Amino acid sequence: MLSKYLGATRKTLKGIFVSTVMLVGVSVQAGVDENTIPLDVEKNNLHFGFIKLTDCASLVIAKEKGFFEAEGLNVKLSAQKNWVILLDNVIKGELDGAHMLAGQPIGATVGVSQKADIITAFSMDLNGNGITLATDIWEKMKPNVPKDANGKVIHPIKSDSLKPVIESWDGDFPLGMVFPVSTHNYELRYWLAAGGIHPGFYTATDPQGHTDGDVVITPNAPPLMPSYLNSRALLGYCVGEPWNQKAVFATKDGKQLGVPVVTNYEIWKNNPEKVFGVTKEWAEKYPQTHLAVLKALIRAAKWLDASEENRVEAVKILSRSHYVGAEEKVLNNSMTGTFVFERGDRVSMPDFNVFFRYKANYPFYSDCIWFLTQMRRWGQLSQDQPDSWYLETAKKIYRPDIYMEAAALLIEEENIAEEDVPKQGFDGFRPPTGEGDFIDGKVYDGKKPNDYIGSFTIRSK
Does 224 contact other proteins by CB under 8 A?
yes
Closer Cβ to other proteins, 203 or 230, answer by number: 230
Whole-number minimum distance, CB 28 to other proteins, in Å? 5
Does 221 contact other proteins by CB under 8 A?
yes
The burial of 293, by beta-carbon neighbours within 10 Å (0-12 exposed, 13-18 middle, 19 or more buried), is given as buried
Whole-number minimum distance, CB 416 to other proteins, in Å? 20
Binding string to other proteins for residues 242 to 271, with x set by CB under 8 A, is what? ----x-x-xxx-x--x--------------
Whole-number minimum distance, CB 445 to other proteins, in Å? 39
Contacting range for other proteins; rule: CB under 8 A; set: 31-39, 114-122, 304-312, 452-460: 31-39
- The CA distance from 39 to 36, in Å, is 9
Does 40 contact other proteins by CB under 8 A?
yes
Which of 401, 416, 425 minimizes the C-alpha distance to 295? 416
Does 184 contact other proteins by CB under 8 A?
no
Which of 253, 275, 373, 210 minimizes the C-alpha distance to 58? 275
Whole-number minimum distance, CB 340 to other proteins, in Å? 5
Instruction: Tell me the torsion sign for CA atoms 247, 249, 251, 254.
Output: positive
Name which position in 69, 96, 125, 420 contacts other proteins (CB under 8 A).
69
Does 70 contact other proteins by CB under 8 A?
yes
What 3-state class would DSSP assign to 26? coil
Residue 38's φ and ψ, nearest 5 degrees, are -65, 155
Closer Cβ to other proteins, 42 or 308, answer by number: 42
Instruction: Check if the beta carbon of residue 267 is closer than 8 Å to that of residue 190.
Output: yes
Which of 434, 279, 458 minimizes the C-alpha distance to 376? 458
Whole-number minimum distance, CB 69 to other proteins, in Å? 6
For 2-56, where are the E strands, in sequence order? 45-50
Closer Cβ to other proteins, 65 or 311, answer by number: 65
Contacting range for other proteins; rule: CB under 8 A; set: 105-113, 218-226, 297-305, 349-357: 218-226
CA neighbours closer than 13 Å in the CB half-sphere of residue 395? 8
Does 20 contact other proteins by CB under 8 A?
yes
Whole-number minimum distance, CB 229 to other proteins, in Å? 8
Closer Cβ to other proteins, 7 or 171, answer by number: 7
Residue 46's φ and ψ, nearest 5 degrees, are -120, 155
Does 417 contact other proteins by CB under 8 A?
no
Does 32 contact other proteins by CB under 8 A?
yes
In degrees, rounded to 5, the angle at the alpha carbon of residue 57 between the alpha carbons of residues 294 and 55 is 105
- The CA distance from 374 to 446, in Å, is 12
Does 44 contact other proteins by CB under 8 A?
yes
Does 79 contact other proteins by CB under 8 A?
yes
Does 27 contact other proteins by CB under 8 A?
yes
What 3-state class would DSSP assign to 5? helix
Instruction: Check if the beta carbon of residue 422 is closer than 8 Å to that of residue 358.
Output: no
- The CA distance from 433 to 351, in Å, is 17
In degrees, rounded to 5, the angle at the alpha carbon of residue 222 between the alpha carbons of residues 244 and 397 is 110
Instruction: Check if the beta carbon of residue 199 is closer than 8 Å to that of residue 188.
Output: yes
Name which position in 143, 171, 344, 425 contacts other proteins (CB under 8 A).
344
Residues contributing to the site for other proteins (CB under 8 A): 1-2, 5-6, 8, 13, 16-17, 19-21, 23-34, 37-40, 44-45, 52, 66, 69-70, 72, 74-76, 78-81, 92-94, 221, 223-224, 226-227, 230, 246, 248, 250-252, 254, 257, 321-322, 324-327, 340, 343-346
